[in-house]
Amino acid sequence: MITPVYGFLEGDTLGILMLIDEYQRVEDIISKLQELARVRVSTTVPMGLRHQGKVIDNRLTLSDAGIGALDRIDVFRTGADHG
């Protein structure tokens, strides 16, 4: 099943409506969002994903992470100054 989600990449000024397969892994979703926003934001550092304020394990699938239709996901730079 394809699930539409709103993706926001740290440093970008626009959100992107993404169509994600429910079995796609979080790490692949992060890569997809980086690719879609690459004309505005260059990201070559490790990234993580937050959903409803919670950091999601990159090995989980969209379905396992509990991300549903039209939910917001936030992709952020990982490191000491980021959750």
Q: How many domains does the chain have?
A: 1
Across the range 19-23, mean pLDDT stands at 96
Flag whether 82 is in a domain. no
Domain carrying residue 7: 2-77
Q: Are 9 and 33 in contact (CB under 8 A)?
A: yes
**Average of pLDDT values for 37-41?**
90
Residue 73 resides in a domain: yes
Q: What is the predicted pLDDT for the residue at 61?
A: 97
CATH number at residue 59: 3.10.20.270
Q: Average per-residue pLDDT in the chain?
A: 92
The whole model's pTM is what? Answer: 0.87
Higher local confidence (pLDDT), 13 or 4: 4
Is there a domain that residue 83 lies in? Answer: no
Give yes or no for residue 82 having a pLDDT over 50: no
